[in-house]
Amino acid sequence: PTPAKVKIVEVSPRDGLQNEKQFIPTDIKVELINRLSQAGFQNVEATSFVSPKWVPQMADGAEVMAAIQRKPGTIYSVLAPNMRGFDGALAAGADEVVIFGAASEAFSQKNINCSIAESIARFEPVAEAVKAAGLRLRGSISCALGCPYQGEVDPSAVVDVARRYLELGCDEIDVADTIGVGTPARVERVMKAVTEVVDPARVAGHFHDTYGQALANILASLQAGISIYHASVAGLGGCPYAKGATGNVATEDVLYMLHGMGIETGVDLDAVVDIGQWISGHLDRKAASRAGNALAAR
């Protein structure tokens, strides 16, 4: 049955901005996060504690985390690929740490410079430390619907990583279509396979919209009982190690669809439209959200 309530994880401060070539001033990142929490998102993915050589845009993660105004009850998540990242996350007061692996060997090498097995071994101490610190642990599975380097990815490869994440104690597991190549029947198959081993209440859909399939893929996931979705205001984003991939599905479009279906999100769509127009203006481009632009023009 389709869930009556959905949690949206707003990933624009991290996934949305990480690929921007021009360094975005820290105060803009802080304002974005503050405005998102005020708009009602329960979970905001704020930044990454990764190598600044690999992702220069996220180099100010500690400053961003120190400057935001925490809204009580909001979960502020950060990415951490190793213990160095965990130390940064802990010092910054993150509520949730995201380990990020892949269902594709080729992508694992390009994105985090190690094999899938090596990445899991690297995540082990991170997971232990996250749990010992009493924080939430989330595991992201890139290339769950296809890989920019190796093409096809079998659902069983996604399930393998999901199992490892469960063993590590992940509270939530993200099925990520890094390059937006998935289509609904395929998404349904992957979600079915994953929810055979993971409680559907703990599975999230992270869809990039490169091929315009993201909303359809969310609908297919809803029908598979998935109630957590990642989205990025104004459709910002892309992964620096997935060339040509566009941003995540635009939050405004997701909210418009869900609210239209009578599904509760707790998020104020009008506020999100304003945020989308503001941040796009700052980046000197038109927002990549159909609903956002339509609502802004009214």
Q: Which residue has the tokens 């390059």?
A: 179
Q: Quick one: what does residue 207 bind among Mg ion, ligand HMG, none, with the CB cut-off 5 to 8 Å set by partner type?
A: none
Is the Cβ of residue 112 or residue 153 nearer to ligand HMG in the bound state?
112
Per-position x/- string for 5-44, each x denoting binding to ligand HMG as judged by CB under 6 A, each - no binding? ----------x--x--------------------------
CA 112/CA 264 separation, integer angstroms: 36
For the bound state, the minimum distance from the C-beta of residue 51 to ligand HMG, rounded and expressed in Å, comes to 3
| Segment interacting with Mg ion (CB under 5 A) among 7-15, 26-34, 123-131, 279-287 | 7-15
Residues 84 to 143: which contact ligand HMG by CB under 6 A? 84-85, 100, 111-113, 140, 142
Residues 9 to 68: which contact Mg ion by CB under 5 A? 15
CA 73/CA 43 separation, integer angstroms: 9
Q: Quick one: what does residue 209 bind among ligand HMG, Mg ion, none, with the CB cut-off 5 to 8 Å set by partner type?
A: none
**Helices and strands (DSSP H and E) totals, the chain:** 11, 8
Burial of 296 from C-beta contacts in 10 A (0-12 / 13-18 / 19+): middle
Instruction: Indicate if 114 belongs to the active site.
Output: no
Taking Cα atoms as reference points, which of 154, 90, 148, 85 lies closest to residue 119? 85
Cβ count within 10 A of residue 196: 10
Question: Which alpha helices (H) appear in 39-154, and where do they start and end?
Answer: 61-67, 83-92, 105-112, 116-132
User: What are the residues binding ligand HMG (CB under 6 A)?
Assistant: 15, 18, 48-51, 53-55, 79, 81-82, 84-85, 100, 111-113, 140, 142, 176, 178, 206, 208, 239, 241
Active-site annotation, residues: 239
